[in-house]
């Protein structure tokens, strides 16, 4: 069928069934809205993925804007303290890889609670020349890579950006996914 013939068929059908015009316009509008509307869960996921990328790059400067000034995390009571600890840890890490298995997020107005299940592995540096592989947050060197779990609380700032306010790691490695 030629483009002219296709145009003629579509025009004829729209004239016969005028309700199709409204349906087509509504369907196109719904499609555009789904593609362009910023969904809160999507915005929260972008923050989590940006944090993952910053950690894998060992980039403290990229992590700072993702955390609120009153951030509280594992082993630290302030944003500056956690960034200092990460700086010290990254000095002993050659490479790190985080593979996210699942993210579950509940958004309530300007607050969000996310649960992230992930695997972590990499290569650490011991002394001046020694390197060793590690798996999991415990830094084990075995072949098994345990599933880790992190609970995040995110808040939406006055500028409309989501930031992590609180992070809690599950005490036991190998956290069960719901």
The CATH number of whichever domain residue 111 belongs to comes to: 3.10.450.50
The band of 62, judged by pLDDT with boundaries at 50, 70 and 90, is very high
- Rounded to whole angstroms, how far apart are CA atoms 162 and 153? 10
The pLDDT score that the predictor gives to residue 177 is 53
Q: Which whole-number Å values give the CA distances from 117 to 20, 86, 88, 103, 128, in the listed order?
A: 45, 20, 25, 7, 33
Whole-number average pLDDT of the chain: 82
d(CA 125, CA 171): 25
| Domain shared by 82 and 150, yes or no | yes
Please check whether residue 89 lies inside any domain of the structure.
yes
Based on the domain organization, do 13 and 45 belong to the same domain? Answer: no
pLDDT of residue 50: 95
Residues 15 and 73 grouped into a single domain? no
Q: What is the pLDDT of residues 95-110, one digit of tens each?
A: 999 999 999 999 988 9
Which pTM was predicted?
A: 0.72
Say which DSSP state 64 is in.
Answer: G
Quote the domain boundaries for residue 16.
3-35
Same structural domain for residues 23 and 109? Answer: no
Domain count, the chain: 2
């Amino acid at each position: 069928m030629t483009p002219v013939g296709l145009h003629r068929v579509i025009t004829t059908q729209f004239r016969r069934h005028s309700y199709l015009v409204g349906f087509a316009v509504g369907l196109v509008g719904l499609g555009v809205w789904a593609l362009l509307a910023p969904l809160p869960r999507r915005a929260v996921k972008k923050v989590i993925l940006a944090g993952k990328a910053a950690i894998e790059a060992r980039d403290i400067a990229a992590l700072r804007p993702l955390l609120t000034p009153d951030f509280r995390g594992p082993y630290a009571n302030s944003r500056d303290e956690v960034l200092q600890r990460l700086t010290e840890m990254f000095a002993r890490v050659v490479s790190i890889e985080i593979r996210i298995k699942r993210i579950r997020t509940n958004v309530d107005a300007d607050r969000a609670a996310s649960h992230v299940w992930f695997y972590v592995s990499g290569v650490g540096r011991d002394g001046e020349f020694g390197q060793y592989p590690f798996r999991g947050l415990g830094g084990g060197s075995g072949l098994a890579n345990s599933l880790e779990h992190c609970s995040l609380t995110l808040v939406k700032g006055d500028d409309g950006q989501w930031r992590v306010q609180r992070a809690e790691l599950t005490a036991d490695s190998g956290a069960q996914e719901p």
